[in-house]
Structure 1
């Protein structure tokens, strides 16, 4: 039986793509994972996910200040790499460790990791360099999942240098990968544009969709109000809620909104509290529970902001697929990624801009079409099966078996 090593700089609760790969692989391959503990809201969800993957061996590193020595050492290494970076911009080690201290932590633990594997699969940019070094040392292939277009993500500090580090790591290391997978057509397009010598035949689109088994058929709805839903890891500023919540509030007699995620108290007090009479705010929940629950709603909110960063403009989030597979009607902002998706799948929803005029027009249309939206829920649910994970997993299985 082939042995697969998975690396991530996150945990399972914040990396649903990795969870799907592990569920696919655990009964056909021997699987080992290196991931991180964050000592935050995600830990209980992460523990449940790990418990559900009984055939997978987990090695967990700490991303928190415990143990203090490890945190201090990795922080000093990251800071030193950033300081030295301008002196040696082509140093792979400085680029990797300056990008993230978790890259250093993975690199250290893998230096002393003895088991042999047939393939290393890295998720998240901080795991790319450790995967490359480990694979090279042990003369085995490695792969990388480009879930996000990392040079186009929002960078808060040291923008020019950090963006250069990300571009350098991708350009230098990805051509050596046995394959790369990407999470949206436009992320793949941009990655191939960036890396001219990347092997296109070993670059595959793996959509952020889910197994059909995770969703229940939509329930009949009789409420006089059109019920909207939005979910994310965090309910906080900068996630599109600032646009849609005030627009929905103008129709408060006709709508209800459920928000699912870890609530930022400052955001609630300074912003959401004003609209609390139409809001139902729920804590984060396991993916399986969330997906079963989605069928109780009418409309899913996919409010990505293309202005936030380039990655947000071209990505396709897992919430888009979750809404569609649950049979919800989707109202999505007109980012490039979502515009392309709805052009290819016009049956599942509509696009809108984010100006007050555009949102008012879209919401009026939705409220007027409430009965039609509910009537077509089962049809959308069945159509959503064409986008399911079952259609994506074969691509990965075929690669894992032949590499």
Structure 2
């Protein structure tokens, strides 16, 4: 093993005690998984040799992946084929998944290319394997059993809580987690409440909370925006009708004379777009659409708005306890945040009242009053937004959060 680069920044040198080969496995594409990419970037910056094994999921992420790979400080290998570039393996992967679902073989249903992942790990022989997404659990448990090498699972979500209580899907994921997580020793969680949920169910686990922040290096210049109209923004990979957007848009009918611009960023099908556009009844309320974009472009776009929306409609158990990256993106871009009241978001804004406030999603009176108040205080709102922007610069960023990951990895490699 090599010594750390003497020219590296001191903050990184402290985490380069052991330069190791680290494999990150995911059943998603890097372009759809910012958290996985941030982990890979942080570990590579700390001097580790990082190799990402990923699988194809969606066509729109191909272009994003290509741009990422040009600048990524880590290596990558696609597993399980591609519908255009590796059709045979892709067909085989889809067939295995479907057959496994029929036969109740959940390991292969969740990870149809399980043997290919394990084969690649054997070729590369990493000293630590980190898994993202539930489909990587059988990779981690089999690899740990075969080799005794340490493994780590990242719980970005409370995965069994992503489905309705009592549903077949929830039962399947609970049983899947119940078979694999007892075989692990350590996980990371993307919010304190997700960590508590897994700790309650699996008390033996060492759980480290690593919040879903973004790089301070991506922070755009602060935009004062002290003239109207009031501009709101919301983003996700996919714009759907189960996220509370139409609730907020419908509240706007009570303030038809208030000029507003609302930007929605993400992939959206035509029926969803028509439904959301029909929620608006005033010509003074303008809805703008923007396709998914790279993280630097996303930050620049979000920074052009006064208010970021962090909303959840009828949140499932997972949505109730997760801290989405919106909570960190909006202050990084200098936005004041209006968030719906979920346990995780109430907890977050109790900890950080300088960043925004929580409202009951179905309370149209309160929403319209707050939007009216914000629109009438555009000259003073920049002060609050600048406070949020500064706090993100100082503490609420990935550079701060990633130190927990680097410390944990050092401990696991040394054990």
Is TM more than 0.5 here? yes
Aligned to 2:198: 191
Aligned to 1:88: none
Aligned to 1:205: 209
8 Å CA contact 1:248–1:255 kept in 2: the answer is no
SS in 1 for 2:304: coil
Q: Is 1:339 aligned to 2:346, yes or no?
A: yes
Q: Structure 1, residues 133-177: CA drift from partner, whole Å, max 9, x if none?
A: 123222211100000000100369xx6443233223323322433
1:4-153 alignment runs, 5 A limit: 4-27=22-45, 28-53=47-72, 55-62=73-80, 65=83, 67=86, 69-85=88-104, 94-98=105-109, 100=110, 103-111=111-119, 113-153=122-162
Q: Is 1:324 aligned to 2:328, yes or no?
A: no
- Once residues 18 and 75 of structure 1 are traced to their aligned partners in structure 2, the CA distance between those partners, rounded to angstroms, is 23
- Once residues 64 and 268 of structure 1 are traced to their aligned partners in structure 2, the CA distance between those partners, rounded to angstroms, is 29
Shift, 1:123, TM fit: 0.2
Q: Structure 1, residues 311-333: CA drift from partner, whole Å, max 9, x if none?
A: 11111101111002222110000
CA, structure 1 residues 302+2, in 2 after alignment: closer, same or farther (shift >3 Å)? same
- Once residues 72 and 211 of structure 1 are traced to their aligned partners in structure 2, the CA distance between those partners, rounded to angstroms, is 37
- Once residues 303 and 106 of structure 1 are traced to their aligned partners in structure 2, the CA distance between those partners, rounded to angstroms, is 36
Q: Is 1:373 aligned to 2:367, yes or no?
A: no
CA, structure 1 residues 274+244, in 2 after alignment: closer, same or farther (shift >3 Å)? closer
Q: Structure 1, residues 312-361: CA drift from partner, whole Å, max 9, x if none?
A: 11111011110022221100000111111011111111111122334223
- Once residues 145 and 186 of structure 2 are traced to their aligned partners in structure 1, the CA distance between those partners, rounded to angstroms, is 15
SS in 1 for 2:59: coil
Aligned to 2:221: 217
User: Which 5+ residue runs of structure 2 have no aligned equivalent?
Assistant: 1-18
Aligned to 1:90: none
8 Å CA contact 2:310–2:340 kept in 1: the answer is yes
Aligned residues: CA RMSD: 2.3
8 Å CA contact 2:223–2:304 kept in 1: the answer is yes
- Once residues 380 and 114 of structure 2 are traced to their aligned partners in structure 1, the CA distance between those partners, rounded to angstroms, is 52
CA, structure 1 residues 386+31, in 2 after alignment: closer, same or farther (shift >3 Å)? same
Matched pairs, number: 385
Aligned to 1:261: 266
- Once residues 109 and 295 of structure 1 are traced to their aligned partners in structure 2, the CA distance between those partners, rounded to angstroms, is 40
Q: Is 1:233 aligned to 2:237, yes or no?
A: yes
Shift, 1:63, TM fit: 6.8
Shift, 1:230, TM fit: 0.9
- Once residues 300 and 65 of structure 1 are traced to their aligned partners in structure 2, the CA distance between those partners, rounded to angstroms, is 36
What is the TM-score with the length of structure 1 in the denominator? 0.88
Q: Is 1:298 aligned to 2:306, yes or no?
A: yes
SS in 1 for 2:305: coil
SS in 1 for 2:267: strand
Q: Is 1:359 aligned to 2:367, yes or no?
A: yes
Is the deviation greater in 170-179 or in 393-402? 170-179
Shift, 1:247, TM fit: 2.0
Aligned to 1:383: 391
SS in 2 for 1:60: strand
SS in 1 for 2:354: helix
